[in-house]
Structure 1
Amino acid sequence: MAVTRRHFVQGLGAGLALVPFGRVWAETRVSLGAAELLSLSDGRMQLPPSFLYGDLEPSALARVLAEHGISPDEPLTPEVNVTLLRDKDHIILFDTGAGPAFQDGTGQLPDALAAVGISPEDVTHVVFTHCHPDHLWGVLDDFDEPLFSNAQHMMGRKEWDYWFDPATVGSIGAARESMAVGARRRLEILADGITLFDDGAEILPGVAAHATFGHSPGHMSFEISGGTDNVMVLGDAITNAHVSFSEPGWEIASDQLPVAAARVRQKLLQRLSSEQLMVVGYHLPNGGVGRVDTVSSGYRFISEN
């Protein structure tokens, strides 16, 4: 399984280092049997530390972060890595990035697609891990029409039911109300053409859905099989390469169901480490492509780049 990595800055050409903000995108390619997997950058987010760390005990948090060279007060600037799988018959996009209405540092997926010779009309399938803004909001163009106009859109049934339910906006909590409103508006536009699936389904040839509920109520990850190789598209089942690897049982503030998410994370990391499956993490560093190793204090993300 060969992995290659390229960085670009729009208008300046190749070979420049990735920087936190601005019109920057990166591409990582993985050969997968007769198919090719690409991790394309939608940019970077900027988040306050409290978004992830919440009420974690300060001294314990500082200890873990110090092991990774991170300050507890340091703003979070996670990558947004969108996975694309293509073979002779399909171009499959896993999530659609944040679009232009979320944060200034995101919404760059259309540029990344153009740079690898793919137009939105070329995409045959859009598969969602979940409905948080940085995964769903890029599905519409500037005229509120589906950007991937020729694609079949697919989502886990439980995730769809949660965000499409009009009661969700009143029960999700004030901090996430705008997420619920934004998700419902986009799902209403997609409703006539959406395909729903359940845990364990082979949603497309060689693509199996795995329930990883917790980060969102119906979050899904996807295992892609190609020849003798498998890759797990994690979505946000594991959102960072420090706390969630070193202490996977800790409850993370960005998870909607923190207890369930921690349980899923522990089980998932154990499997990924023991089987040495390659992963693509939506917010993991260096394009998110790598493997999981077991270390004395928990686990560690080993980037393929």
Structure 2
Amino acid sequence: MRITRRRFVAGAAAGVVAGGVVPLRGMAEMMLGEARLTAISDGTLMLPGAFIFEGLPEEEVAAIVTPMGVSSTALEPPCNVTLLQVGDRVVLFDVGSGPDFMPSAGELVQNLEGAGVAPEDVTDVIFTHAHPDHIWGLLDEFDEPLFADARYMMGRAEWDYWWNPETVDTIGAERQAFAVGARRRMEAIEDAVVFFDDGEEVLPGVAAVACVGHTPGHMGFEIRQGSESVMVVGDAIGNHHVAFARPGWEVNSDQDKATAAATRVALMDRLAAEQMPLVGFHLPGAIGRAEKAGDGYRWVTI
């Protein structure tokens, strides 16, 4: 397994490509056999601390996050879209936020182009789940699918949840816009989407792994080449602080807190035991490992 790290800065230091400045093209890259995985930035989110920490013991939270330089009141998690290139396939796991969610996000297309990939090059789009920062980047300015030549894939349970007309009324007022936005984008690919279930091989060497709780049908993906593998975890492990130090805590960002916590504990145990690298959508550095640390774990970039 060969791992390299790429860091890019915004502004003129990033260089001029095709007459324009290309900011922050990517974050990290690794080779897995003949497959290349690259974490492509979609920018960052800007969230109140309560989005994750509400209801958690304040002193314990502070003891975990303060040494990391993380605020307990304002969060700016990165958004890392995974790009897989293997053979003739160019695969995206999720599509970022697009321009309509947060002004600090929606940078995927320009950063893909900075990495040499145009939207029409993408052959497959596989969704971990249908939250805004993962699916709202699906449409272009004409409300057409941006990755027009791609095949779209989503877990059957995840699709059914967001497609259900009752979801908008049961998800809670603070997430109603999530449901409306997901349904609008899913309607654009209704006739083209391919469904899958837990354990299915969605592409050669890419197997779906149910990681439910954050959303009802959230999926992770194990990418395997020979004896080597890596896990794309989406938001099943949603941050590098309390999710690792206290994976069993029930956090506010998960829709089903208890189920998500159980999923996170089991996933963390497996990843640490197998020392399997993972790609995290909201983890700084994007590619790393879960290492045992006391009663919990710690995030280690590689």
Q: Please, what TM-score do these two structures have when normalized by structure 2? A: 0.95
Q: Which residue of 2 aligns with 1:44?
A: 44
Q: Structure 2 CA distance, aligned partners of 1:128 and 1:166?
A: 20
Q: Secondary structure at the match of 1:233?
A: strand
Q: Structure 2 CA distance, aligned partners of 1:67 and 1:45?
A: 21
Q: State whether residues 121 and 148 of structure 1, in contact with CA within 8 Å, keep that contact through their aligned partners in structure 2.
A: yes
- Aligned pairs for 1:57-96 (under 5 A) are 57-73=57-73, 75-96=74-95
- Aligned pairs for 1:178-197 (under 5 A) are 178-197=177-196
Q: Structure 2 CA distance, aligned partners of 1:170 and 1:217?
A: 16
Q: How many Å apart are 1:23 and its aligned residue?
A: 5.1
| Count of matched residue positions in the alignment of Structure 1 and Structure 2 | 296
Asked if residue 54 in structure 1 is aligned to residue 54 in structure 2, the reply is yes
Q: Which residue of 1 aligns with 2:128?
A: 129
Q: Please, what TM-score do these two structures have when normalized by structure 1? A: 0.94
Q: Which residue of 1 aligns with 2:240?
A: 241
Q: State whether residues 213 and 260 of structure 1, in contact with CA within 8 Å, keep that contact through their aligned partners in structure 2.
A: yes
Q: Structure 1 CA distance, aligned partners of 2:235 and 2:192?
A: 25
The CA RMSD over aligned residues, in Å, is 1.5
Q: State whether residues 25 and 114 of structure 2, in contact with CA within 8 Å, keep that contact through their aligned partners in structure 1.
A: no
Q: Which residue of 1 aligns with 2:35?
A: 35
Aligned letter for 1:264?
T
Q: Which residue of 2 aligns with 1:279?
A: 278
- Aligned pairs for 1:1-305 (under 5 A) are 1-9=1-9, 12-14=12-14, 24-73=24-73, 75-286=74-285, 288-304=286-302
Q: State whether residues 79 and 281 of structure 2, in contact with CA within 8 Å, keep that contact through their aligned partners in structure 1.
A: yes
Q: Which residue of 1 aligns with 2:19?
A: none
Q: Structure 1 CA distance, aligned partners of 2:238 and 2:246?
A: 13
Q: State whether residues 14 and 24 of structure 2, in contact with CA within 8 Å, keep that contact through their aligned partners in structure 1.
A: no
Q: Secondary structure at the match of 2:81?
A: strand
Q: Which residue of 2 aligns with 1:19?
A: none
Q: Structure 2 CA distance, aligned partners of 1:29 and 1:61?
A: 31
Q: Deviations over 1:142-184 (max 9, x none)?
A: 1100000000000000000000011100110000000000001
Aligned letter for 2:204?
P
Q: How many Å apart are 1:298 and its aligned residue?
A: 0.7
Unaligned runs of 5+ in 2: 16-21
Q: How many Å apart are 1:223 and its aligned residue?
A: 0.2
Q: Secondary structure at the match of 1:97?
A: coil
Q: Structure 2 CA distance, aligned partners of 1:167 and 1:64?
A: 38
Q: How many Å apart are 1:233 and its aligned residue?
A: 0.1
Q: Secondary structure at the match of 1:100?
A: helix
Q: Secondary structure at the match of 1:143?
A: coil
Q: State whether residues 65 and 72 of structure 2, in contact with CA within 8 Å, keep that contact through their aligned partners in structure 1.
A: yes
Q: State whether residues 44 and 105 of structure 1, in contact with CA within 8 Å, keep that contact through their aligned partners in structure 2.
A: yes
